[in-house]
Structure 1
Amino acid sequence: MLRQLFGRNKCFMRTTQLQFEVLSFIVLPQVQQSRNTFILKRRIPPALHKKGQAPKKLKARHFVYDLVEDTNSRKKENLELVLTDYVQGLGERGDKVSVRPNYGYHKLLLPGLAVYASPENIAKYGSEEERSKKPSRHSSHTAERTVNVLSRNILAVVMNKETPWKIEPWHIRASFRKAGFYVPEEAIELPQEPIEGPDLDLEMKEFTVTVTINNHETAKVRCRIHHWSTNLADRLPFVEDHWKIPADPLFPPSS
């Protein structure tokens, strides 16, 4: 009898050890916590109970809920940050900016280009002493972007085909206005050589003007001459997407 019990216990111990070894090789899935908040409202509110009495038992209809708000889809507020270095399109060191959370975290906070706009950080990076450590490279936070946009454009300067003309700054200003840019005449610098017409040899020829931004930055803008006539029969054929076609320079490049 004792020998049978001992044999059974020995078999049980071997089985338990084998199960433990098998379970040790099983990789359990990792479950991460998620912060989800749903605001619900009972579709049928329960009846009130009298004071001093036990509340009535809820029925199945009282456990039907309507979704009021899913906080995961709620628009997050902007991050208030203080720049620790110059960031193109945003500002200089010490400027306080408001950006979207995803952009502010991945593009500014992680690379070390900004810190949270706490009173201590505002006083630290916004002081004149801190700003003087890295002087401003641009006159404003949009100046560099403006230079890049203007430099990429090819401006169409439309001139009359019958009336004599000489290109002046106001012609370039009007061409900028047609392209959606407001540029004052005093900020436009023409080439030293005068450009006069009408002359069909100048058609689709390219020249460069210089635009000064905030009396600090300069942008080189390419311009192309197009002749236009009030008489339909004298008009030149329309050239679609003229900026995609290579053009010859109006003046030979200086050596």
Structure 2
Amino acid sequence: MNTPLGNQTLLLYLILSLAQNTVVVERWWQVPLSKEGRPPRLYPRRHQVYKVVEDTKHAPKEKMELILAQTVAKLGGRGDTVFVKKSVGRNNLLAQGLAVYPSPENKEMFAEELRLLHEGRPEERIQTRTGQLTVEILKHMELKVEKRTSIEYDITKEIVCRQILKKRGIFVPPHALRLPEESIKDLGDYWCEVTVNGIDTVRIPMSVVPFEDPTATGRKLLKKQKQEETDAAAVQEAATVSEAATVPEATQGKKAVPPTENQKKDKEPHD
């Protein structure tokens, strides 16, 4: 291909540069059908007016699906399938060997590896990323279990599991929970142990407290507010009484002034 050097450079640049975005347009004025054997009648100005149908620049970007080959903080563990931005996947995960493409071979390999880890001995198992996050949440947890004092019953595993699900949103099956051997009937401080995926066990401090009815709590709060208002009114009344008591004392402290000669003459009777 005989082309000048400048054209070769331009051609090479066009070949290497990729289209980043695509804009779909259509003619505002449709071109009329031409008669058979005749060229179409085009109006240069009218038929060069276009309207935008779709602009992919502002469309939501599709994320890249990858399988992590190593544990990545805040993303997942080895064998987890993640969806990330294409720039992050290409420049960080794939470039550093932290992830691979989800090909059928890779999916089968990691599935087999995960199966062996779950079926192996406990000391050989590896905790998943979700399991690690669950363990961290349980380590900083203090559980409060409400118990009705008017009814005698034991705190069972099912009750504790429901409380954990209610307070933290973590589902704990009863077989993964362990309570003290003695039955829990009275109020006080106890403990419970949760085993995550059969690998890590976390001991959680647990307190059994009396049950409070929400309506009773509302009445108690209203009673407290009324008591505060009564106390404030009593303090205000006491301050007013003390101010009134100080006024006579100030008056008594003043000495009487004797009348002058003119005042005495005015008081004498006139003939």
Asked if these proteins are the same fold (TM beyond 0.5), I'd say yes
Aligned residues: 194
Q: 1:156–1:226: 8 Å Cα contact kept in structure 2?
A: yes
Q: Secondary structure at the match of 1:218?
A: strand
1:209 aligns with 2:192: yes
TM-score by length of 2: 0.55
CA–CA distance in structure 2, aligned partners of residues 63 and 48 of structure 1: 17
Q: Which residue of 1 aligns with 2:49?
A: 64
CA–CA distance in structure 1, aligned partners of residues 108 and 162 of structure 2: 46
Q: Which residue of 2 aligns with 1:100?
A: 84
Q: 1:169–1:185: 8 Å Cα contact kept in structure 2?
A: yes
CA 1:191–1:105: 2 relative to 1, 3 Å: farther
Q: Which residue of 1 aligns with 2:236?
A: none
Name the stretch that deviates more: 166-175 or 80-89. Answer: 80-89
Q: 1:228–1:236: 8 Å Cα contact kept in structure 2?
A: no
Q: Secondary structure at the match of 2:137?
A: helix
Select 1:114's aligned residue among 99, 118, 129: 99
Q: Which residue of 2 aligns with 1:147?
A: 135
Select 1:164's aligned residue among 130, 148, 152: 152
CA–CA distance in structure 2, aligned partners of residues 164 and 83 of structure 1: 52
Greater per-residue helix proportion: 2
Q: Which residue of 1 aligns with 2:20?
A: 35
Q: Which residue of 2 aligns with 1:174?
A: 162
CA shift at 1:35, angstroms? 2.5
Describe the superposition over 1:147-206 as per-residue Cα deviations: whole angstroms up to 9, x where unpaired.
Answer: 223334433311113233443323212312433333222211124565432x4xx4xxx5
Q: 2:77–2:129: 8 Å Cα contact kept in structure 1?
A: yes
1:80 aligns with 2:80: no
CA 1:50–1:82: 2 relative to 1, 3 Å: same
Q: 2:192–2:205: 8 Å Cα contact kept in structure 1?
A: yes
Higher RCO structure (Cα 8 Å, ≥6 apart): 1
Q: 1:228–1:235: 8 Å Cα contact kept in structure 2?
A: no
Percent pairwise identity: 29
CA 1:101–1:172: 2 relative to 1, 3 Å: same
CA–CA distance in structure 2, aligned partners of residues 174 and 99 of structure 1: 32
CA–CA distance in structure 1, aligned partners of residues 214 and 18 of structure 2: 75
TM-score by length of 1: 0.58
Q: Secondary structure at the match of 1:196?
A: coil
Unmatched tracts of structure 2, length 5 or more: 1-16, 118-123, 222-271
Q: Secondary structure at the match of 1:161?
A: coil
Q: Which residue of 2 aligns with 1:90?
A: 76
Q: Which residue of 1 aligns with 2:174?
A: 185
Q: Which residue of 2 aligns with 1:9?
A: none
CA 1:60–1:187: 2 relative to 1, 3 Å: same
Q: Which residue of 1 aligns with 2:251?
A: none
CA–CA distance in structure 1, aligned partners of residues 194 and 85 of structure 2: 36
User: Greater CA radius of gyration, 1 or 2?
Assistant: 2
Q: 1:208–1:220: 8 Å Cα contact kept in structure 2?
A: yes
CA shift at 1:38, angstroms? 0.6
Q: 1:43–1:65: 8 Å Cα contact kept in structure 2?
A: yes
Q: Secondary structure at the match of 1:142?
A: helix
**Aligned AA for 2:76?**
L
CA–CA distance in structure 2, aligned partners of residues 45 and 170 of structure 1: 71
Q: 1:42–1:66: 8 Å Cα contact kept in structure 2?
A: yes
Select 2:35's aligned residue among 36, 47, 50: 50
CA shift at 1:122, angstroms? 6.0
**Aligned AA for 1:184?**
P
CA–CA distance in structure 2, aligned partners of residues 61 and 107 of structure 1: 49
CA shift at 1:136, angstroms? 4.8
CA shift at 1:68, angstroms? 1.1
CA–CA distance in structure 2, aligned partners of residues 185 and 126 of structure 1: 27
Q: 1:187–1:211: 8 Å Cα contact kept in structure 2?
A: yes
Q: Secondary structure at the match of 1:86?
A: coil
